[in-house]
Structure 1
């Protein structure tokens, strides 16, 4: 099986190896490579779907070429085939022939560590890419920390994170941190039209409007039907209290009917963005402690419910109904007058 986050019909990051944008981050690592002072670990963080993994594989190719004894074309071919002996990639592993584990486990980290402790298969630097470190369960994160505390010689870890705030502070402190941002619309259009040269102009415009600078989200948008409930979710989140409860339940049913489908995948990203935005706005405004506490509780509850639904195959319709009800209550709370201090 392929990457559990793969989108049908689109090349994986290891096949592209050429990210659009992110020039400052790319230049910083290439400068360190030229000066022979690569860090032991690099944390590439930012919103999901902006090209972090693609940039990691692009930089891995540059490092393996510069420090090895093969030309760039040969190195890129081996990376795409996962056959380069100095490259290790860790993602969620297959659980069986049809599904993947919901997390990266401590035994996966131990296997990676053991691989990196073996004699290298070829001259040059070694690269380990964790896509994503967010998928590590607590034991795996602690196991990774021990490896970063005593890293193998001439090895660089690329840790990809969509949610760096949830990582162990001790892991972040041992990394060279690079924050990546969503792409401007012109670059995003180049990414989409480059993969889909025959795309209709109207479809491209709609994808760019909904993508928020994220190539992955643009492609997910193109996979949606014209009557997709994702559009209804976007409208509902603008004013949850204005929507009748019955319509809210119908929205949960429509989105949760196919937990592995493109509608649900897109909806989860939109929900995460909305919840993160609520916490960010509350944290940046004075006198918003009640809103921040409620938003933080809502974030934790929603993520716990979705993780539980994934791990034990709970009814996604019911899970969404509970999350939507909690969002509605949060909005009602912050709309009411604050209690006197």
Structure 2
């Protein structure tokens, strides 16, 4: 299974969102802009490409009927957004080669060869020009924005102008990770599709099918860490996040006697050039592990069930020694420090050590 949304034919769950779009399509009154929101890895971009393929295919079929003079033939109401991978439309969308589809995302900075941190206003304006062109073949022009969270302020205002004066037969699919942080005026001009986290059983079933060689204990850990998002679970595996988390937890498994030298060595890995994503993922997963300890402690009288066997009981010792209130504060601090470290390009090793040293406080040695 490909992890790329443009090449993924199926979408796990989210039948309600698909039904909403289909009902609008079949009614003949399709809103020109859709805001697709949800947790990272929940399937937002996959749904956007699924909708894009569907619209381009349906538009192509309508064009064929018009060419044949079949203007009054019986209209077929589609019951699914699914387009088979062997369909030419699917292949062209997957290769980003369809003339009626444009994808707006961060581009590579030619001066340093790195991906830009944001989407520039010039790129949004080019998309406006694209949408105003007459469709080359499908009757529709489709724009996918992945994601609106990465627009600069100027770019967001340029998008708002497009939404205020939408061209005819133009469909704008906007991927959004955090709808609370975007301009309210953008939200108000979009029909919203909110993707909810999947139930744990669906995540387990998905992982068992997709990763048949993975052991059951890892499936359980990934189910917890995924937060109901199949894409997040796959990303954790692909980027060896579970291995990193286990390694870190094993380093503190002798809590409260944590080896400073071992933590320094681990911190070095997170501070290397190009290891920004590794740092972000490690801190994020460690925080998810802390959140799991807090939840388990609150519901199981401070006897948390291990997330994975490699914990060696350190979770229980940390909860008993530090207490839930301290762990909640540590969880908050890690979120803030991780975000600040990446945003301001601070010393990642120092940020990591600062957070972990809290667990080595002699006051916890009870």
Both proteins in one fold, TM over 0.5: yes
CA contact (8 A) 1:106 1:137 kept: yes
Partner Cα distance (1:212, 1:190) in 2: 15
Superposed CA RMSD in Å reads 4.0
Cα pair distance change 1:226/1:57, threshold 3 Å: closer
Query: Where in structure 2 are the equivalents of 1:88-237 lying within 5 Å?
Result: 88-96=102-110, 98-223=113-238, 228-231=243-246
Q: Tell me, what secondary structure is at the counterpart of 1:182?
A: coil
Alpha-carbon distance between aligned partners in 1 of 2:288 and 2:166, rounded to the nearest angstrom: 34
Q: CA deviation at 1:299?
A: 6.6
Residue 303 (structure 1) aligned with residue 339 (structure 2):
yes
Q: 1:119 Cα shift?
A: 2.4
The structural deviation recorded for 1:91 is 1.0
Secondary structure in 1 matching 2:192: strand
The Cα offsets for residues 79-108 of structure 1, whole Å up to 9 and x where unpaired, read as 111111111111110124842111111111
How far 1:10 sits from its partner (Å)?
Answer: 4.1
Distance between the aligned counterparts of 1:272 and 1:39, measured in 2?
39
SS for the counterpart of 2:107 is coil
Identify which range, 71-80 or 132-141, moves more after superposition. 71-80
1:308 & 1:257 partners in 2: Cα distance?
Answer: 16
Contact persistence 1:275–1:299 (CA under 8 A): no
- Name 1:317's counterpart in structure 2: 349
Q: Contact between 2:225 and 2:288, CA under 8 Å: does it hold in 1? A: no
Tell me the residue number matched to 1:83.
97
* TM-score between the two structures when normalised by the length of structure 1: 0.72
Among 6, 9, 27, the residue aligned to 1:14? 6
Helix, strand or coil: the match of 1:68?
helix
Q: Which moved more, 1:254-263 or 1:47-56?
A: 254-263
Per-residue deviation, residues 47-102 of structure 1 (Å, max 9, x unmatched): 10111111111111122222223895221111111111111111110124842111
Residues 259 and 192 of structure 1, relative CA distance in 2, 3 Å threshold: farther
- Name the structure 1 match of 2:35: 43
Give ranges in structure 2 of 5+ residues lacking alignment.
Answer: 65-82, 293-330, 359-366
Measured at CA, do residues 264 and 95 of structure 1 come closer, stay the same or move farther in structure 2, by a change above 3 Å? same
Q: TM-score, normalised by structure 2?
A: 0.68
1:44 to partner: Cα distance: 0.9
1:180, CA displacement in angstroms?
A: 1.0
Give the SS at the match of 1:144: helix
Q: Aligned pair in 2 of structure 1 residues 146, 36: CA closer, same or farther (>3 Å)?
A: same
| Residue 256 (structure 1) shift | 3.5
Counterpart selection for 1:54 from 46, 50, 65? 46
Structure showing greater radius of gyration is 2
> In the superposition, relative to structure 1, how do residues 268 and 298 fare at CA in structure 2: closer, same or farther (>3 Å)?
closer
What is the distance in 1 between the residues matched to 2:155 and 2:165? 16
The 8 Å contact of residues 147 and 176 in structure 2, kept in 1 or not, is answered as yes
